[in-house]
Structure 1
Amino acid sequence: MRIEKKIKDFLVFSGDSLLDALKRINDNQARIAFVVEDSGVLLGAVSDGDVRRWITRSPELDFNLPVDQVMNRDFVARLLTDPPAAIDESFDHKRDIIPLIDNMGRFVALARRGVVGFQLGERLISDQSPAFIIAEVGNNHNGDIQLAKRLVDLAIEAGADCVKFQMRDLSTLYSNQGKNAEACYDLGSQYTLDLLNRFQLDNDALCAVFDYCTARGILPLCTPWDLASLRVLEDYGLQGYKVASADLTNNELLTALAATGKPLICSTGMSTEPEIKGAVSLLRRLGAPFALLHCNSTYPTPFKDVNLSYLACLKQITGTLVGYSGHERGIAVPVAAVALGARIIEKHLTVDRHMEGNDHKVSLLPEEFADMVRQIRAVEEAMGQGGERELTQGEMINRENLAKSLVIDCDLSRGQLIRRDMIVVRSPGQGLQPNRLDELVGKVAQN
């Protein structure tokens, strides 16, 4: 099931003509449109079947009559806030699209059966859509809100679809309430906790950066590292969440995230295959819309450890969208991941790889990120649609100029039998292709 919030092509207003409804049905190619009041309250549905039934019982066919006279008022709708599993139960052999309404009864979204993917903000993420590219800022702002906003600007200029940050409540996340690390912590943990204490943006500042993203027209996402942070982000109203590799086995947090009903993008670094399958089983059971990102949580990741071939296995395990979150250097791997089926790409972004912090050294500079986006879009264009091999316009021109044809190399009279020794292969390719030689031999000349 996939939930979509772009409903314009499904929307008909009460009082519009039946012809208007038919145009909508033709535009959306889904055989149905939904009729609403001016306020958006859902009144009914009109399908191509409803129109056929009207045609068979109407003595006069007037396609300018109000659609209200043809629409079906006995329709099935669900609340947008209903659990995905409950919405899924509303599909049957006749219904593969369910309108979703808000608490005021207004048509706000729709659910499609059997379609892989989900809508995140204004972007539809599916196997048929362009790759969704996330600029991971994380804590690369180093606690400076102005730098955070600058990174947002740079991500937009580079062509990213989304800018992602991280939120932690150190007092609940760490066993020592987030104070400077004690001697019992290993050196890596001490270093990380020290950086977090110095470089985190507080919640109000981070929410201000989210506001800045929205004002600039790019989707903000965030990774909540704990339940306290999730509550803050839910109060703010983020449209989806990124799940850190470290929390793929955190069933408590996964359950809370699934309860939001929002799309989840989950990294799989540091998890074994049984652990990945366990997380998938839990998210499916909870009815959460989700995608998994193949990931290796080594900073930087050696190319020999990336194992991009695992994307196919991950796709088989999940039966849903897969993507790639990379910590290797350069852009070759994420570009290759798109060619292998990744529909979501996440890479870190920084203004200076020499800044203090865990992620800067594995991050792309703005011009590198922009180059990655260009290369990904070029690969997507080059992938095409598959299917039967057809000649392009350029090939047809070159085929005529460069290819070869069968030519009769002697005087030939009408009615004469064509023998093999009369035929030669010559350019240009304006006649029969050489592979049709056997068809030509034995024919009788017509002219």
Structure 2
Amino acid sequence: MKEKRPYIIAEIAQTHEGSLGIAHSMIDMVAEAGVSAVKFQCHYASEESSHDEPWRVKLRTQDASRYDYWKRMEFSHESWLDLRNHAKEVNLDFICSPFSMKAVEVLKDIDIDVWKIASGEITNIQMLKSIAESGKKIIISTGLSDFEEITNSIDFVSKINNKIIIMQCTSEYPVNPKNIGLNLIKEYKSKFGFDVGFSDHSGNIYTSLAALTLGAEVIEVHATFHKKIFGPDVSSSLNPDELASLVRGADWIHKAKQNPVNKDKIALQKKDVRSIFLKSIVAKKSIPKGATLSEDNICTKKPLKGISAAEWFDVIGSISLRNIDEGEHIHKKDIKKGT
């Protein structure tokens, strides 16, 4: 995985609607946006679902059941290899979530770059073992899990393979801001000691940018061609312009975080500008020699030329050593301490 910049994953999921052509078009779309990786979900209905599986989001009559929907999302081994090769051609890592052991074997065979454990598979020990033994990096979603399940899964996987990224995620589409859980980014880092990322279902770029400032190393967002297109995840997805904006924002935040600022050094660098904007003490009206300086005859004005406005209370009560014209900047040589 690329470590020099924020690692942004564009999740296609089922937005391709079972069309291989659309899937390829979406790879090109997210590559143009500048992401680091494209992610798919590998489904084989007969291996992962029964005809009794209820709908998460009831779609139109195109699919009589959730099983039929998964069936329509299937791609052949050859098609998966074609998608993987396409991703490599446009310099994207190819990530996929398997939902059955058959899917695991297909994805091993096509040599994907990174595994993603979906929220519903985090307790699937058989699958976790097989994936961990591949030796490749593993992203673990926590969208449906409590801390005990998360801990047990990470402990199990890490004994075989410690290339783990833990993703804070809440399985709502779109997610309510109250349930986003940005606080868990630091908590996961502290508790588990692995890299932590954020899987975003908000449908906007703000949440992911906030996650980056809080220490997320990886961001995953759903992608769509258009917010009005058909599909169960569209409301939680980013369109091409939003995706490109996220990438630019992520790079901007990364540069800022990689360059801590020393305020003393910056102030020295801005010496010339400081002299323009900071104020000094000026004669509000003509001040004769021997007069006492007070709020009646002095004020502060730009630029910084003479005695700084920061010395106001030290100057009050001083005695002028010469005649000072109205509007003239006052210097230390022009005054003495009053008695």
TM-score (norm: length of structure 2)? 0.79
Residue of structure 1 in register with 2:324 after alignment: none
Deviations 1:268-315 (A, max 9, x none): 100012211222222332242111111010112122221222222122
Deviations 1:332-384 (A, max 9, x none): 11121112211111111112444443223322111221122222223333445
Check whether the contact 1:142–1:200 (CA below 8 A) recurs between aligned residues: no
Give distance in 1, aligned partners of 2:267 and 2:46: 62
Higher relative contact order (CA 8 A, sep 6+): 2
Give the superposition deviation at 1:207: 1.3
**Which of 206, 214, 227 is 1:340 aligned to?**
214
Check whether the contact 1:167–1:203 (CA below 8 A) recurs between aligned residues: no
Q: Is residue 227 of structure 1 aligned with residue 101 of structure 2?
A: yes
Q: Is residue 173 of structure 1 aligned with residue 82 of structure 2?
A: no
Check whether the contact 1:330–1:364 (CA below 8 A) recurs between aligned residues: yes
Give distance in 1, aligned partners of 2:261 and 2:203: 35
Give the superposition deviation at 1:401: 0.5
Check whether the contact 2:38–2:93 (CA below 8 A) recurs between aligned residues: yes
Give the superposition deviation at 1:188: 4.2
**Which of 170, 180, 186 is 1:306 aligned to?**
180
Give distance in 1, aligned partners of 2:150 and 2:92: 30
Q: Is residue 427 of structure 1 aligned with residue 302 of structure 2?
A: yes
Residue of structure 2 in register with 1:404 after alignment: 279
Q: Which amino acid aligns with 1:213?
A: A
* Superposition map of 1:53-202 within 5 A: 120=1, 123-124=2-3, 129-174=4-49, 176=50, 181=51, 184-188=52-56, 191-202=65-76
1:431–1:133 Cα change, 3 Å:
farther
1:431–1:310 Cα change, 3 Å:
farther
Counting matched residue pairs gives 310
Residue of structure 2 in register with 1:75 after alignment: none
Give the superposition deviation at 1:152: 0.9
Show structure 2 runs of 5+ residues with no match.
Answer: 58-63, 319-331, 335-339
Give distance in 1, aligned partners of 2:203 and 2:56: 21
Secondary structure class of the residue paired with 2:69: helix
Share of identical aligned residues, percent? 25
Check whether the contact 2:9–2:39 (CA below 8 A) recurs between aligned residues: yes
Give the superposition deviation at 1:142: 1.4
Residue of structure 2 in register with 1:291 after alignment: 165
1:202–1:240 Cα change, 3 Å:
same
Deviations 1:199-245 (A, max 9, x none): 32222112101111111222211112222222222222222211111
Q: Is residue 265 of structure 1 aligned with residue 139 of structure 2?
A: yes
Give distance in 1, aligned partners of 2:194 and 2:287: 64
Show structure 1 runs of 5+ residues with no match.
Answer: 1-119, 413-418
Check whether the contact 2:44–2:70 (CA below 8 A) recurs between aligned residues: no
Residue of structure 1 in register with 2:117 after alignment: 243
Residue of structure 2 in register with 1:78 after alignment: none
Please list every run of at least 4 consecutive aligned residues from structure 1 whose deviation after the TM superposition is greater than 6 angstroms: 407-412, 419-424, 437-442
Check whether the contact 2:53–2:66 (CA below 8 A) recurs between aligned residues: no
